[in-house]
Structure 1
């Protein structure tokens, strides 16, 4: 059994799927459905316009729906991108914040569609699990001041504690 995240957009489902599949390796759009004539009055969407886009991000299934303006994304749900190194952090950060994305704090951002992402080095999880609370506190104090996470700065704070 799979769980498929369903992302609600007003009219940007296809644009979002194209962006996300261009950023993540091993990704593709698998199908696009259109609004049928019978749904136009109920949905307010013209027949033939994009209804859903099914896509995969690194093999994980997603669905994007053009459902109208009733619902918006917020930070209570986000997608985490575990990164191996600073190069990956920088790559995902720049791709997801370009063209209207917004930086937030502690590795969080919103893309231009308002969807929240966490761009986090895998190493941070290891640091946070260290039983030496002094080191954890030092690393935490360092990353709490950051927008995009800087692995070297976090490591330096961690090692110096």
Structure 2
């Protein structure tokens, strides 16, 4: 068992369990691990879950705190197709797009969703190529791996 996990705070009763269940549909190696209910049939107070192999907790904490983009879930996908699928699932479930590969789900939790190959391009030893990739990312909403590869190679990105 991991001794460190991120706890996500949800404002309304029932949101923690609904969010955790949805999040577990987004990536392999995801599951609900346990649910703590203060009453026999009441809503969950705390949901422990694993998202893409990483432990999280979701807490129905009340409306005193709101999620902030200063902390986000960063989900690296295996390829563009998986990025597209996860991105669309979050949007279809009430999310909204941001810039540079960021979006916010219906509960206000901010996500970064991108193909893992983006890191190799952005952290390239070729500094000029890395800068072109960074510039291309700043002009995107959902990250487009083919366009970022083109930017890395010095091709025009539209």
TM-score interval, normalised by the smaller of the two chains? 0.7 to 0.9
Query: 1:25: which partner in 2?
Result: 28
What's the counterpart of residue 35 of structure 1? 38
Unpaired segments ≥5 residues, structure 1: 37-46
Determine which structure has more spread, i.e. the larger CA radius of gyration. 1
Q: 1:32 to 1:72 in 2, by over 3 A?
A: same
Q: Could you tell me how far apart the structure 2 residues matched to 1:69 and 1:23 are?
A: 26
CA-to-aligned-CA distance 1:30-49 (integer Å, 9 cap, x gap): 2222235xxxxxxxxxx933
Q: What is the aligned counterpart of 2:137 among 143, 149, 153?
A: 143
Separation of aligned partners in 1, 2:136 and 2:144: 9
Structure 1 residue 106 displacement after superposition: 0.6
Contact 1:98 1:112 in 2 (8 A): no
After superposition, the Cα gap between the structure-2 partners of 1:58 and 1:142, relative to the gap in structure 1 and judged at 3 Å, is: closer
- Does 2:94 align with 1:100? yes
Greater mean alpha carbon deviation, residues 66-75 or residues 26-35: 26-35
Q: Identify the residue that residue 7 of structure 1 maps to in structure 2.
A: 8
Cα shift at 1:99: 2.4
Displacement after TM superposition at 1:59 (Å) = 3.2
| TM-score, with length taken from structure 1 | 0.85
4+ residue runs of structure 1 moved beyond 4 angstroms? none
Q: Which runs of 5+ in 2 are unaligned?
A: none
Listed one character per residue, the Cα deviations across residues 51-81 of structure 1 (whole Å, up to 9, x for unaligned) are: 1111122332211111100111111101111
The answer as to 2:85 corresponding to 1:91 is: yes
Bigger Cα displacement from structure 2, 85-94 vs 133-142: 133-142
CA distance in 1, matches of 2:66, 2:38: 21
Q: Deviations over 1:2-22 (max 9, x none)?
A: 211111112200110110112
Equivalenced residues, count: 152
Partner of 2:71: 77
Higher helix share: 1
CA RMSD of aligned residues (A): 1.9
* 1:112 aligned onto 2:100: no
1:125 Cα shift?
1.5
Counterpart-to-counterpart distance in 2, 1:129 and 1:58: 23
